[in-house]
Amino acid sequence: MQIIENIYSILRSIGLVFMHAFHKRETVQYPDEKPYLAPRWRGRIVLTRDPDGAERCVGCYLCAVACPVGCIALQTTEDETGRRYPEFFRINFSRCIFCGYCEEACPTYAIQLTPDFEMCEYKRQNLVYEKEDLLISGPGKYPDYNFYRVAGLAIGGKGKGEAENESAPVDPRGLLL
Amino acid sequence: MMSILWPLITIALALGIMLTSASALVWLERRMLALWQDRYGPNRVGPFGLLQVIADTLKMFFKEDWIPPFADKTVFFIAPMVIMTTALLSVAVVPFAPGFSVVDLNIGLLFFLAMSSMGVYSVALAGWASNNKYSLLGGLRASAQMISYEVFMGLSLMGVVMLAGSFNLRDIVEAQEHLWFCVPQFIGLVIFCIAGLAETHRIPFDLPEAESELVAGFHSEYSGMKFGMFFVGEYLGITLISAMIVTLFFGGWYGPILPPIIWFFLKVFVFQCGFILLRATLPRLRYDQLMSFGWKYMLPLSLINILITGAIILAKR
Amino acid sequence: MATIYIDDKPYEVKDGQNLLQACLSLGLNLSYFCWHPALGSVGACRQCAVKQFKDENDKQGRLVMSCMTPASANIRISIGDAEAKEFRQDVIEHLMTNHPHDCPVCDEGGECHLQDMTVMSGHHDREYRFKKRTHINQDLGPFINHEMNRCIQCYRCVRYYRDYAGGRDFNVFASHDNVYFGRHEPGTLESEFSGNLVEVCPTGVFTDKTQKKHYTRRWDLQVAPSICVHCGLGCNTTPGERYGQLRRIRNRYNGEVNGYFLCDRGRYGYEFVNSAQRVKQVVYRRRDDAGVETVEKAVKGDVLRYLARLLADGATAIGIGSPRASVETNFALRALVGPENYFTGMTALETRLVSSMIEILKTGPARTPSLDEIGDADAVLVLGEDVTNVAPMMALRLRQSVRNEPMAVAHKIGIPDWNDAAVRGAVQTKKGPLFIATPAATKLDEIATSTYNAAPDNLARLGYAVANAIDPEAPTGDRVSAEVRQLAETIATALKGAKKPLVIAGASCANECIIQAAANIVWALCKTEHAAALSFTAPECNSVGAALLGGRSLDEAIQTVRDGRADVVIIAENDLYRRAKRADVDALFEHAKHVVVIDHSPTATTAKAEVTLPAAAFPEGDGTFVNNEGRAQRFIQVYVPEGDVQESWRWLRALRVATGKADVAEWATLDLALASVEEAVPALSGVRNCAPPPAFRALGQKVPRQAHRYSGRTAMRANINVSEPKIQEDPDSPLTFSMEGYRGELPASLLPSFWAPGWNSAQALTRFQEEIGGPLRGGDPGVRLIEPAAGSAPAYFGDAPKVFAVRKNDRLAVSLYHIFGSEELSALSPPLAERIPALYAALSPSDAEALEVANGDTVELRLNGAAWRAPVSVRPDLPRGTVGVPAGLAAAEFLSAPAWISVEKVSAT
């Protein structure tokens, strides 16, 4: 009995596959027909700026360490006020697999993936993007967030105790403390 | 004059038809698989992507023909030629239409079986000569598989031979003028189809080259046109098995209205598509399942088939 | 051993531990903050709470702090108990209320104990909705960055800085959640060990300011086991490299050497490696007939051929080695020029001093203690050494050793050693016997029982007197004053009464009698069945190794060249101008036809060389150093340097090959070179064993230099070429320049860094130790080459020197050491620059009075035609008739004792 069932099952499968000849095709004829890309599409990576127009990236290296192919290299540095920013920020798109882990790891919303994947080059070397190539002028998908407004680090224009939810600095020499 | 020229023309035609259909089959397979998987397949090169075949062939020709330094060079060189040669030689006995076959051998069927057995050498030698463990495994699998399935491939055809009373393929076709052997020899047909799949090591019997297990099996180390020969050999095999199914079970060139040769190729085309449909549907077997299926089911079944056929023929007398 | 039950499973633990130590040693995860293996327990943070049960039927249990509970036999505890877990989670949540939201810009991130413990305890949601307390930071000098907002009030920093390291300019201020850890006012931290705050602090309050300038996360650093080159103690370090630049030095635990800490010179002296002035290319200095010099960069192959020609033409070549070059380099030089033409590179005096130290340790009955054992001594006499400035980590050990004797008080009332607050309460300010006899006051004087400042000869006389007081057979000097005799008696009594007496001496006073006096004292103690130990400081990182290799002195080398017996002079990693008189070295350069210098940093000597070959600095090559204890230790290449830079011994090998003295296969690897060393120099046999050979594999794999999280491997060099280069090969060690390889238990000499799952900070160390504070699993790195001889003790050294006689016009030069500045290489590091003192000439008040000078006046020092002007610094501790000159800063002739210098006032014009 089992054998008949099995034979039937095979024949039925063959029939079902054959019937696919009359189904609509799923393929999108890409260059002629552009597909819809969702805003959260994981394409070309950009570095964004905070609402004040300053670089969002603080050079924490979390994107680099999250990257499974190791295609992000950067060096952090500081301006004279203590604000961190990347001295260089390099993505080797010839290695990038667009997994989006860098975006997930980024604590400042600086690195974001965009709905653009048309970035072929004839030379692989041209797929190495430096900070100048990556940095855009806007805040990307997260218009309001500004890391330094939340973080307790003092930078130019924001002293100790001036971040969100911070009280004024304590004077350890004060009485009754 | 004509007696020399005609066979030459026939040979040229047969060769031309088989090689063209083999390469066209590459394109056909990709298109058909795509069709059954709701895709398009190659559709950019030429009309319907037909020129894809030429593009692929050109690519194959211009690829580096690399012989690994660790390979047994002579054997490595010979192996792909064997599969092409045997497949093409088998074509010699196929009756395309009345009076249109390269030779009209009275042991045509045996010649076909003999030639398809020779194909094992190609695969086994390729696997051996590559000096690569995956290739060797592929070669070993292929030889065991082909030798096993050959046994009842031959046996499954004995019913047909008994009914037709001849090993001559022309006689067999002509014996089907009124009733195609697919009806009285249905079991034989099923067994032959399965054995034919195994002989050409097509999915679900593609264990010798199972890419998920053995990289590419016996032809892992082959590149360029040597690989091309294996490739073409495989598609020639499909065409050949389809042609044999048509000849032995589906009345060869017989058919109403259309000229016989058209009927023959129409039928062959249907079975080629059948092969592709099977590839689109079935997953690969496990190796032990393949062997036990052959020896435990197919062999007894083909023997029973011979017995019953013989008994009926005797009873009819 | 005791059996304890943790979560109903029996474990065998060592006696005398607390539960936290026991759990960590067993490899269990238990969070903690205020406990530190070197600082003990105070039970302040409440983070290590576990449930303790009366017996197996007790289901209720009670919470106890594991760091305050002894791991007594049959105690039953639970780490995983729900209540204990929740308690730990609550504690960390409260500790975190004011912690700022700044991990991305915090240098501690990625190796933060607070991060690890937060994850370990399971706290993930911040429920505190109110305002966070903030603090103003202080500028704590060039080494330490202060970010007080991140503080979780564990008090480890003050406990380390004040209680452990003896610093006084750092404290805790204010109260409750406002407590502030810092100085009373912004300013440079005075302690020589302030850098350890970076590793002691569980979070990012104190971070490495030098690393901040070229910041790299821990996981991005390429690291390898290394040895500090900035003094003779051979502390184990872990240098980290990124983008071809040395980014930082971290401590590498070695239970027998540096333990948990490093001094600031070792930690921050590394930047000379990154200097733009480094010798990175082969330089050829052409001098035409007119004497005009042109400097050009040369091609390596051409220069080697040129040098081979020079060496081949029947020319006599001499080699001058160096006590700061590795054993391999010195040996390769010796092999190139032949033992008869090889000179150690140390002056005659220095060679004699170091050789006599080795001789004393080899022939005498006294064992030289490891640095760790120095901390176990219970009575110490320091003879002639300013330990804090010469061998800083030894000073940190001595600060612990004075705690040993009064610890008996705590033991008597049953307080275990680890119960830090209770021990300190019981001991109060009592200190064990520590006697310091030095030419001038030292920083350790503050913990000394008594001190004695005198001229070097008088220090030696005190030593002889002490030996005589212990064993009347020992010789003593003539006319020993009652005061000295009294002091000697006191010292002798203290040493005799101790279980582990220790005498420390060295080469700082450049006086052999002091070394001999120290030997006499220890030998006298050994006669009285004491396990007395004798420790010498070594002037440089491989002084002992160079001395073990043997060879004639630099003075003889200069004489050889002057006599015209050498055509080619090859100098390896040695700045002769720092050692010998300027006139002598100038003469050497004048008489030598060709001078080849192999060095990594530009010096006065490289400036004179015809050919300069770029040598690898310590993180760029492999080699072996022998420290003051006679411990041979391997330093392994951290990164492959760019350009022609290679190890000096490789240059010398290349020269040997080029001259046809050796075939190409010879010394292809460090291991093969060391095999030749062992064969040729029996005194150094064993150096090969201080690290596994290059063929060593752990489970068939090499050891990775990069963390498993190492990032950017496909992008780091993409700006140069998008195709990644092949992984560099290392023929000299089983380490690989990659992320792939074996991570786990390894021979300690190969451990690139300490990391365990869930333990990203330096605290991961507990996973690699046999017990807390004990040796690393598989034994601490290093092989001791010097062990005391069995059998009868040698005869005492002869008579003591005469009483130091003050001369009328000349004054005896006394070297005054400075932790920052006296050592050659660290002085080239920019972060140290602002800590290097200005030049001075120190005079005793009576001398100053005689010369009619006051602080700040300029004096001129004159010796053998050389003159040098410096401002006067009047120091009351300096003995009369001497002039103190800063070691390593003043010209060499004023430091090469015994130098009698004429000092004259320069009238301000």
At C764-802, the pLDDT tens digits run 999 999 988 899 998 999 999 998 887 777 888 887 888
The whole-number pLDDT of residue B1 equals 64
Do C609 and C673 have their domain in common? yes
- Among B215-219, C361-365, C416-420, C617-621, the least confident range: B215-219
CB contact under 8 A, A17 and B35: no
Q: What is the ipTM of this complex?
A: 0.89
Query: Taking the domains of chain B in order of start, what are their residue ranges?
Result: 2-316
Q: What tens digit of pLDDT does each residue of C461-480 get?
A: 999 999 999 999 888 888 88
CB contact under 8 A, A92 and C718: yes
DSSP state of A6: H
Q: What tens digit of pLDDT does each residue of A81-120 get?
A: 989 999 999 999 999 999 999 999 999 999 999 999 899 9
The whole-number pLDDT of residue B257 equals 83
Report CA Rg, chain B: 20
- Average pLDDT (B234-259) is 86
Phi and psi angles of residue B186, each rounded to the nearest 5 degrees, phi first: -60, -45
The whole-number pLDDT of residue B175 equals 85
Q: What is the CATH number of the domain that holds C306?
A: 3.40.50.740
Q: What tens digit of pLDDT does each residue of C818-831 get?
A: 999 999 999 999 98
Q: What tens digit of pLDDT does each residue of C697-712 get?
A: 999 999 999 999 999 9
Q: At what angle do helices B260-281 and A2-19 cross, to 10 degrees?
A: 110
**What subunits touch chain A, counting only 3 or more CB pairs under 8 A?**
B, C
Pick the closest to residue C48 from C70, C63, C60 (CA basis). Answer: C63
Q: Has residue C838 been placed in a domain?
A: yes
Residue A73 pLDDT more than 90?
yes
Alpha carbon separation from B208 to A59, A86, B135 (Å, rounded): 53, 54, 9
Number of domains in chain C: 4
Residue with tokens 């391997």: C634
Do C304 and C409 have their domain in common? no
Do C384 and C515 have their domain in common? yes
Q: What is the CATH number of the domain that holds C832?
A: 2.40.40.20
**CA-based nearest distance A43→chain C, Å:** 18
Do C378 and C523 have their domain in common? yes
Strand, coil or helix: what is A35?
coil
Residue B9 pLDDT more than 90?
no
The whole-number pLDDT of residue B151 equals 87
Q: Is the peptide bond before B204 cis (omega within 30 degrees of 0)?
A: yes
Q: What is the CATH number of the domain that holds A134?
A: 3.30.70.3270
Q: Is chain B adjacent to chain C, meaning 3+ CB pairs within 8 angstroms?
A: no
Q: Is residue A6 very low, low, confident or very high in pLDDT (cuts 50, 70, 90)? A: confident
Pick the closest to residue C246 from C277, C222, C218 (CA basis). Answer: C222
Do C286 and C406 have their domain in common? no
Nearest to B281 among A13, A21, A25 (CB): A13
- C232 contact partners, CB below 8 Å, separation of at least 6: C391, C537, C538, C539, C540, C541, C543, C544, C627, C628
Q: Has residue A23 been placed in a domain?
A: no
Number of domains in chain A: 1
Q: Has residue C688 been placed in a domain?
A: no
Q: What tens digit of pLDDT does each residue of B21-51 get?
A: 887 888 888 888 999 999 888 888 888 888 8
Q: What tens digit of pLDDT does each residue of B53-73 get?
A: 888 888 888 888 888 888 888
Pick the closest to residue C458 from C878, C20, C25 (CA basis). Answer: C878
Number of H helices, E strands in chain B: 12, 0
Residue B258 pLDDT more than 90?
no
Between A67 and B171, where is the model more confident? A67
> Is A13 at the interface with chain B, CB within 8 A?
yes
CB contact under 8 A, A151 and C105: yes
> Is A24 at the interface with chain B, CB within 8 A?
yes
Q: Is residue C908 very low, low, confident or very high in pLDDT (cuts 50, 70, 90)? A: low
Contact C92, C47 (CB under 8 A): yes
Q: At what angle do helices B224-249 and B260-281 cross, to 10 degrees?
A: 120
- Average pLDDT (C854-878) is 88
DSSP A50-98: -TTSSB------HHHHH-TT--EEEEEEE-TTS-EEEEEEEEETTT---
CB contact under 8 A, C715 and A72: yes
Do C408 and C525 have their domain in common? yes
Q: What is the CATH number of the domain that holds C10?
A: 3.10.20.740
Highest mean pLDDT among A164-173, C213-222, C846-855: C213-222
CB contact under 8 A, A14 and B40: no
Q: Is A72 exposed, middle or buried (0-12, 13-18, 19+ CB in 10 A)?
A: buried
Q: Has residue C151 been placed in a domain?
A: no
The whole-number pLDDT of residue C485 equals 92
Interface size A-B, in CB pairs within 8 Å, comes to 32
The whole-number pLDDT of residue B163 equals 86
Q: Is residue C897 very low, low, confident or very high in pLDDT (cuts 50, 70, 90)? A: low
Q: Is residue C564 very low, low, confident or very high in pLDDT (cuts 50, 70, 90)? A: confident
CB contact under 8 A, B277 and A23: no
CB contact under 8 A, A25 and B39: yes
- Domain's final residue, options C75, C95, C115: C95
Q: How far apart are CA C832 and CA B290, in angstroms?
A: 77
Residue in chain B lying closest to A18 (CA): B36
Residue C311 pLDDT more than 90?
no
**Chain B environment of A14 (Cβ under 8 Å):** 277-278, 281-282
**Chain A environment of C180 (Cβ under 8 Å):** 170, 172
The whole-number pLDDT of residue C448 equals 93
CB contact under 8 A, A70 and C105: no
Do C365 and C506 have their domain in common? yes
Q: What tens digit of pLDDT does each residue of B168-191 get?
A: 888 888 888 888 888 888 888 998
**CA-based nearest distance B28→chain A, Å:** 14
Give the count of alpha carbons within 13 A of C649, CB side only: 29
Q: Residues B230, B231, B234, B236: is their CA dihedral positive or negative?
A: negative
Q: What is the CATH number of the domain that holds C421?
A: 3.40.228.10
Residue C909 pLDDT more than 60?
no
The whole-number pLDDT of residue C892 equals 72
Nearest to A151 among C101, C137, C216 (CB): C101
Q: Is chain B adjacent to chain A, meaning 3+ CB pairs within 8 angstroms?
A: yes
Residue in chain B lying closest to A25 (CA): B38
Do C517 and C653 have their domain in common? no
The whole-number pLDDT of residue C203 equals 93
Do C408 and C460 have their domain in common? yes
> Is A21 at the interface with chain B, CB within 8 A?
yes
Contact C469, C488 (CB under 8 A): yes
Please report, rounded to a whole number, the percentage of residues in chain B having pLDDT higher than 70.
99
The secondary structure element, H or E, covering residue A112 is strand A111-113
Nearest to B38 among A10, A18, A23 (CB): A23
The whole-number pLDDT of residue C321 equals 94
Interface size A-C, in CB pairs within 8 Å, comes to 139
Do C43 and C66 have their domain in common? yes
State which residues form the domain around C418: 351-540
Q: Can you say whether residue C660 is alpha, beta or left, with left for phi > 0 and alpha for psi between -120 and 50 degrees?
A: left
Q: Has residue C487 been placed in a domain?
A: yes
State which residues form the domain around A137: 37-146
The whole-number pLDDT of residue C151 equals 93
The whole-number pLDDT of residue A175 equals 67
Please report, rounded to a whole number, the percentage of residues in chain C having pLDDT higher than 90.
66
**Chain A environment of B277 (Cβ under 8 Å):** 14, 17-18
Strand, coil or helix: what is C60?
coil
**CA-based nearest distance C764→chain A, Å:** 20
CB contact under 8 A, A160 and C102: no
Do C423 and C475 have their domain in common? yes
- Mean pLDDT over all residues of chain B? 86
Do C595 and C675 have their domain in common? yes
